[in-house]
Amino acid sequence: MAGYPKGAQPQDFIKGWPHPELLSRAELRAALTESFHKGLEMSEETLNYGDKANGAYMLGHPRFLQGLAKFLEQQYQAPTDPKTLMSTIGASMGTDLCFRIYGKPGDICVFEEPTYFLAFTMARNSFLELKGVPIMEDGMDLDALDKVCTESEGKVKFVYTVPIHHNPTGYSMSNEKRVRLMQLAKKHKFLVIADEAYQLLNFGKTDMKPLFYHDDKEDPRVFSIGTFSKLIGPGTKVGWVQAHTSLLKPLTDIGFIDSGNNPVIFSSMNLLHFVESGALAKHIDAVSKDLGERCQLICRKLREVGLEVYEPKGGYFVWVKSKGKKTGKSGEATAIKKDKFHDYMRLCFCWLTREQIEEGIEYLRP
């Protein structure tokens, strides 16, 4: 690699993937194996559509939803009713379902800009119109949101937000803004899709609960979208939507679920023991510690080469304004019209080894 300073090397910061060692830990394999064994002992019901007492498990297997509720209750330190949970094949399926059931062509969805760029496709799949408002270090610009809603005269049906460990910026929405967002939701009658894929991936203590816990049971407007994908591994494809029952139940009316049933009966029940035994909580601690160290490393190294960075308290990414050389994913795609953030880079610190992180950031030194 002639021409680069010693130890400088372009690296793949694009992939938002966990590094393979996290997925092949002996403790993880042993715990999953045990869990699958126990799952298969229930194959009589986990391989069917449902059972006589409960009918078809449209929202998910009742025992999995109970186990998940208990797990989330411990993680969130907040009461969690299994009746507010639906199992899904991951976070994206949850977002897609909300758009499909509650949206109609021409409805507006407002996004933070920059945001998780693949959410745009999901909104477009439901023929929605997309509008953007800026994001700030304490979350979405709510004055701008209020203005967009007022100007759009009732056409804003959804606000899509990544309120914790935001992709790509790493910001989290403050509790004050969460309260105000829900006031705006009531005022303008929109629904909030809170993509909380990183909610349980924290590098330290957090006092932030899912947006669901800021919702009003009497006038519910929030879908809190969760997943095991960032915790166990993206292949897992078991996630959930948390919402008050009157909002949640219509999600099962989508044709492919009405026909095929809840999509993760078998796979979620095979994970039940892993969740209930405490093995998942332990695994999350190990993953968070490992990724937190990588996050510290990349931020230290970025500052060392003279680049500014907001150090996130969880998640997968840092968001950096380039001073010339670029790497990682271009920020261009993170704006609706691709008209902003050309100079920004989204860098994932989870895929590379520590050495590769150092080499890849050294390469950026102006």
Residues that bind its own copies (CB under 8 A): 15, 17-18, 20, 23-24, 28-29, 32-33, 36-37, 40-41, 43-50, 89-93, 95-96, 100, 105, 116, 118-125, 127, 229, 232-237, 253-261, 263-267, 269-270
Place of tokens 């394999």: 29
CB of 204 to its own copies, least distance (A): 25
DSSP 163-228: -SS-TTT-----HHHHHHHHHHHHHHT-EEEEE-TTTT-BSS---PPPGGGGS-TTS--EEEEEES
Q: Which of residues 224 and 227 has its CB atom nearest to its own copies in the complex?
A: 227
Q: Which of residues 121 and 246 has its CB atom nearest to its own copies in the complex?
A: 121
Q: Which of residues 118 and 179 has its CB atom nearest to its own copies in the complex?
A: 118
SS3 call for 71: helix
The residues, ordered by sequence, that sit 6+ positions from 203 with a Cβ below 8 Å of its Cβ are 288, 291, 292, 295, 296, 312, 313, 314
CB of 47 to its own copies, least distance (A): 3
Compute how many other C-beta atoms are within 10 angstroms of the C-beta atom of residue 301: 21
CB of 52 to its own copies, least distance (A): 9
User: 251 with 241: CB under 8 angstroms?
Assistant: yes
Q: Which of residues 52 and 217 has its CB atom nearest to its own copies in the complex?
A: 52
CB of 235 to its own copies, least distance (A): 4
Q: In the 8-state DSSP scheme, what is residue 202? A: B
Q: Which of residues 48 and 150 has its CB atom nearest to its own copies in the complex?
A: 48
Q: What whole-number distance in Å separates Cα of residue 69 and Cα of residue 137?
A: 31
CB of 77 to its own copies, least distance (A): 28
CB of 82 to its own copies, least distance (A): 19
CB of 95 to its own copies, least distance (A): 7
Q: What whole-number distance in Å separates Cα of residue 345 and Cα of residue 29?
A: 35
Q: Which of residues 80 and 270 has its CB atom nearest to its own copies in the complex?
A: 270
Q: What whole-number distance in Å separates Cα of residue 299 and Cα of residue 91?
A: 27
Q: Exposure pattern of 221-231 as b/e (b: 16+ CB <10 Å)?
A: bbbbbbbbbbb
Q: Which of residues 16 and 220 has its CB atom nearest to its own copies in the complex?
A: 16
Query: Could you tell me where the beta strands, DSSP code E, fall in the chain?
Result: 50-51, 55-56, 85-88, 108-113, 129-136, 139-140, 156-161, 191-195, 222-227, 239-242, 317-321, 329-330, 344-348
Q: What whole-number distance in Å separates Cα of residue 257 and Cα of residue 59?
A: 9
Q: In the 8-state DSSP scheme, what is residue 83? A: G
Alpha-carbon torsion, ordered 174, 175, 177, 179, to 10 deg: 170
Q: Which of residues 40 and 179 has its CB atom nearest to its own copies in the complex?
A: 40
Q: Which of residues 100 and 338 has its CB atom nearest to its own copies in the complex?
A: 100
CB of 138 to its own copies, least distance (A): 26
For strands 222-227 and 191-195, give the pairing: parallel
CB of 29 to its own copies, least distance (A): 5
Give the 3-state secondary structure of 121-149.
HHHHHCCCEEEEEEEECCEECHHHHHHHH
- Residue 147: what residue type? K
Q: Which of residues 122 and 156 has its CB atom nearest to its own copies in the complex?
A: 122
CB of 271 to its own copies, least distance (A): 10
